[in-house]
């Protein structure tokens, strides 16, 4: 299977299922067996996923992509050994980061709901002009992309986390902030935006927010 078919959803579903790390192997860049250069799509997905992981409080090192050819058995073995050692060093997913299991679950569920939107943003705004490893890493590390990521994905992720939490029960702004470890002002801003879109409503009797 082409590594380009490893969707963002696969990566975050694996973490939601309790995997401590995700390792992706693909053809060497510039040597795609299917002539689609899907391994560059895989690299893009990994770089985007790592940015999301950082925002969730996860160690980005829990995700690795390695490009090898069919004759690189020793290189693949070395890479998987290094990755396994790194995951053991980080510890179990969640406790290793100091994240509570329920908090991590909510974050990952929120990301999975956002995957279709993230893929649209990637197609429209995060496509790298030229396909070289250096161009990809430079592009995704740039200040411009970081700002774009914060505006287009960061806010959507915050709203998705709030909506996922409100599926369980109605909550006040303070309770949402405490559960999600966000500033109350940030929660209020996102709640107001969601209210304008008709996604949430304020329950006057219980003085809390609920899904519309």
29 located within any domain: yes
- What local confidence, expressed as pLDDT, does residue 2 receive? 85
Which residues, including other chains, have CB under 8 Å from residue 39's CB and lie 6 or more apart? 2, 3, 4, 26, 27, 28, 29, 32, 67
Residue 37 has which token pair? 């250069």
- End-to-end distance of the chain based on CA atoms, in angstroms? 42
- What local confidence, expressed as pLDDT, does residue 18 receive? 96
- What local confidence, expressed as pLDDT, does residue 137 receive? 87
- What local confidence, expressed as pLDDT, does residue 94 receive? 96
- The secondary structure of 111-125 as a DSSP string is HHHHHHHHHHHHHHH
What does pTM read for this prediction?
0.85
- What local confidence, expressed as pLDDT, does residue 205 receive? 87
- What local confidence, expressed as pLDDT, does residue 151 receive? 80
20 located within any domain: yes
Beta bridge mates, 171: 209
Number of domains in the chain: 1
Beta bridge mates, 197: none
Mean pLDDT per block of 10 residues along the chain (212 residues) reads 89 97 91 78 93 93 92 89 97 95 91 92 83 87 88 84 91 92 90 89 90 90
d(CA 150, CA 153): 6
97 located within any domain: yes
d(CA 121, CA 107): 20
185 located within any domain: no
How far does CA 125 lie from the centroid of its chain? Answer: 17
> 52 near 153, Cβ under 8 Å?
yes
Q: How many residues are there in the chain?
A: 212
- What local confidence, expressed as pLDDT, does residue 36 receive? 74
201 located within any domain: no
Domain that includes residue 31, residue range: 3-168
d(CA 90, CA 22): 13
Residue 194 has which token pair? 């969601």
Q: Is 168 exposed, middle or buried (0-12, 13-18, 19+ CB in 10 A)?
A: exposed
């Amino acid at each position: 299977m082409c590594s380009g078919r490893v969707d963002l959803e696969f990566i975050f579903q694996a973490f939601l299922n309790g995997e401590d790390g995700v390792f992706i192997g693909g053809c060497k860049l510039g040597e795609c067996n299917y002539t689609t250069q899907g391994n560059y799509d895989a690299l893009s997905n990994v770089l985007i996923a790592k940015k999301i992981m950082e925002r969730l409080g996860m160690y980005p090192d829990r995700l690795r992509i390695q490009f090898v050819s069919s004759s690189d058995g020793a290189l693949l073995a070395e890479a998987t050994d290094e990755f396994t050692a790194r995951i053991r060093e980080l510890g179990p997913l969640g406790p290793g980061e100091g994240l509570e299991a329920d908090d991590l679950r909510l974050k990952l569920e929120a990301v999975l709901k956002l995957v279709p939107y993230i893929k649209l943003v990637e197609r429209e705004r995060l496509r790298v002009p030229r396909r070289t490893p250096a161009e990809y890493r430079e592009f995704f590390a740039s200040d411009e992309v970081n700002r774009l990521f914060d505006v287009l994905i960061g806010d959507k992720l915050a709203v998705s986390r709030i909506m996922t939490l409100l599926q369980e029960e109605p909550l006040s702004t303070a309770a949402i902030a405490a559960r999600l470890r966000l500033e109350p002002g940030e929660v209020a801003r996102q709640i107001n935006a969601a209210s304008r879109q008709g996604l949430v409503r304020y329950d006057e009797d219980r003085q809390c927010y609920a899904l519309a």
